[in-house]
Amino acid sequence: MSDLFQASLSELMRQLDRRACSAEEVVSDLLARMESSRDRLNAYVSIDAENALQQARAVDTARAAGKQGALLGLPIAVKDVLNVKDQPCHCASRILEGYRAPYDATAIARLREAGAVFVGRTNMDEFAMGSTNENSAFGPVRNPWNADYVPGGSSGGSAAAVAGGAAIAALGTDTGGSIRQPASFCGCVGLKPSYGRVSRYGLTAFASSLDQIGPMTRTVEDACLLLGVMAGRDPMDATSMDADVPDYAATLTGDLKGMRLGLPKDYFSDGMDSEVEQAVRIAVDRCAGLGAEIVEVALPHTEYAIATYYIIATAEASANLARFDGVRYGAREQGADPLDMYGKTRAARFGPEVKRRILLGTYVLSSGYYDAYYLRAQKVRTLIRRDFESVFKQCDALLTPVAPTTAYRLGEKTNDPIRMYLGDIYTVTANLAGICGLSVPCGFSEAGLPIGLQVLGPAFGEDAILRVGHAYEQATDWHQRRPAL
Sign of the torsion formed by the C-alpha atoms of 103, 106, 108 and 111: positive
- How many Cβ atoms are within 10 Å of 98's Cβ, its own excluded? 10
Type of residue at 414: T
The kind and range of the H/E element at 365 are: helix 352-365
Pick the catalytic residue: 8, 37, 154, 199?
A: 154
Sign of the torsion formed by the C-alpha atoms of 463, 226, 313 and 143: negative
DSSP annotation of 373 reads I
Q: Hey, which bits of 359-411 come out as E strands?
A: 397-401
Q: Is 154 labeled as catalytic in the residue annotation? A: yes
Pick the catalytic residue: 8, 22, 28, 79?
A: 79
Q: Is 194 labeled as catalytic in the residue annotation? A: no
Query: How many CA atoms lie less than 13 Å away from 382 in the CB half-sphere?
Result: 5
Type of residue at 188: C
Type of residue at 344: K
Residue partners of 274: CB distance under 8 A and separation at least 6: none
Q: Largest Cα–Cα distance of the chain, in whole Å? A: 70
Sign of the torsion formed by the C-alpha atoms of 17, 18, 21 and 26: negative
Q: Is 393 labeled as catalytic in the residue annotation? A: no
**3-state DSSP call for residue 391?**
helix
**Long-range Cβ pairs for the range 238-246 (8 Å, 24+):** 239/195, 239/196, 239/200, 239/208, 240/196, 240/197, 240/198, 240/199, 240/200, 240/201, 241/196, 241/197, 241/460, 243/196, 243/197, 243/460, 246/462, 246/463
Pick the catalytic residue: 93, 131, 136, 178?
A: 178
Nearest-angstrom CA–CA distance, 485 and 482 = 9
Catalytic residue set: 79, 154, 178
